[in-house]
Amino acid sequence: SRTAREAIKVMTDLVQRYGYYSSGESFTIADPNEIWIMEMIGKGPGIRGAVWVAVRVPDDCISAHANQARIHQFDMNDKENCMYSPDVISFAREKGYFDGVNKDFSFSRAYAPLDFGARRFCEARVWSFFNKYTDYGKEYLPYIEGKTDTPMPLFVKPKQKLSVQDIKDMMRDHYEGTPLDISNDFGAGPYKTPYRLSPLNFEVDGKEYFNERPISTQQSGFVFVAQMRANMPDPIGGVLWFGVDDANMAVFTPVYCCATKAPVCYTRVDGADYITFSWNSAFWIFNWVANMVYPRYDLMIGDVREAQKEMETTFNNAQQGIEEMAAKLLQKDKKAAVEFLTNYTNMTAQSTFDTWKQLGTFLIVKYNDGIVKRVKDGQFERNAIGQPAGVVRPGYPKEFLQEYVKQTGDRYLVK
């Protein structure tokens, strides 16, 4: 497909011909000039094809979706900004999902009725994005809390123009600073970790409870932010800022769309997969570091942030110069330009991998056995006779110790 519109046609033609075995999916389909949200659901056993609707996001708006259909009413007469399957409404009528007039038809209500999980585990993540970059967070919160069924719009105008880095940072979100913040209650533990172990639901004494499901989660395998620019030649204008494992602790490295070779550390090097560890696999190195940080998050995340910010800032600052060089090469020799961007893609990935492996060894030394080694100017300190300096014993945070005594009473009281 050369455009988002063409991609929508290819996808919908394919499912019409071959069928679509899915209980529903939302897609962001974009090209350098347009962004569309398409939602599609299979018709069920024995019926080939799918029902679907696609809506174009205005250029001055932002949108999000998170495992829950978000397109409600749509303008069936606006052929420029809306596409849909011919039977999207009639099939819903046939199945008993809808019986009103066409103008009131909601794709989401008909084909993905809202339940608690859809609201809290899916729509809440969209809310966090809108809350961060618009003034509508308080207005939309009652919908997330189940106090109203008035849905959030599919797209909204942000308070300011968003940068690529803004989107990278948003992928790291855990509702920090909002009413859904999970880093300040008992479940966060002594080191305020913004993670909860799966599953999302659990039972205690016959009652069902849940864990919040933020944008960033430890279950992630990879994450990317796609940057597309119509004012540049295609080999240069398309970049996937790519990272492996948990977005919160990933480093987004540039993967140019023209690259002809994948960085070795992103491949199944040494046979690496979900159950095969390799010291040469970026997936496993980033998991290794993240799993050291999770149990003592508040104590250790600063070191991760420092390394993360340094690398991403370096890549961001280098981007213009790299692309200017690629553009000059492209004027003379397309093959040379493609090779240049392929090499840069591989170099940044390998550099990030090497840095993260060094970070892992640094964290082990610094935080070994629950103490903290002293660091100055990036080096572990030594005393006047060259021996390692005395360590810091941070113990547990004050709030945790107060709760600890509350739970254990005088059992550990010094008498």
Helix (H) or strand (E) holding 359: helix 334-367
> What pLDDT sits at residue 86?
96
Q: What is the pLDDT of residue 328?
A: 97
Q: What is the pLDDT of residue 287?
A: 97
Q: What is the pLDDT along the chain (415 residues), one digit of tens a residue?
A: 999 999 999 999 999 999 999 889 999 999 999 999 999 999 999 899 999 999 999 999 999 999 999 999 999 999 999 999 999 999 999 999 999 999 999 999 999 999 999 999 999 999 999 999 999 999 999 999 999 999 999 999 999 999 999 999 999 999 999 999 999 999 999 999 999 999 999 999 999 999 999 999 999 999 999 999 999 999 999 999 999 999 999 999 999 999 999 999 999 999 999 999 999 999 999 999 999 999 999 999 999 999 999 999 999 999 999 999 999 999 999 999 999 999 999 999 999 999 999 999 999 999 999 999 999 988 999 999 999 999 999 999 999 999 999 999 999 999 9
pTM of the entire structure? Answer: 0.93
Q: How far apart are CA 102 and CA 84, in angstroms?
A: 13
pLDDT at 50: 96
CA distance 257 to 390: 50
Q: Domain map of the chain by residue range?
A: 4-113, 222-370, 375-408
Res 398: pLDDT: 92
Cα Rg, the chain, nearest whole Å: 25
Question: In the prediction, which pLDDT does 164 show?
Answer: 97
Cross-strand bridge partners of residue 39: 26, 53
Contact 222, 251 (CB under 8 A): no
Measured distance CA(82)–CA(284) in Å, rounded: 42
In order of 179, 182, 212, 338, 400, the CA distances from 175 in angstroms are: 8, 7, 9, 40, 22
Residue 274: how many other CB atoms lie within 10 Å: 7
Q: Please tell me the distance from the alpha carbon of residue 229 to that of residue 254, in angstroms, as a whole number.
A: 14
Q: How far apart are CA 284 and CA 269, in angstroms?
A: 11
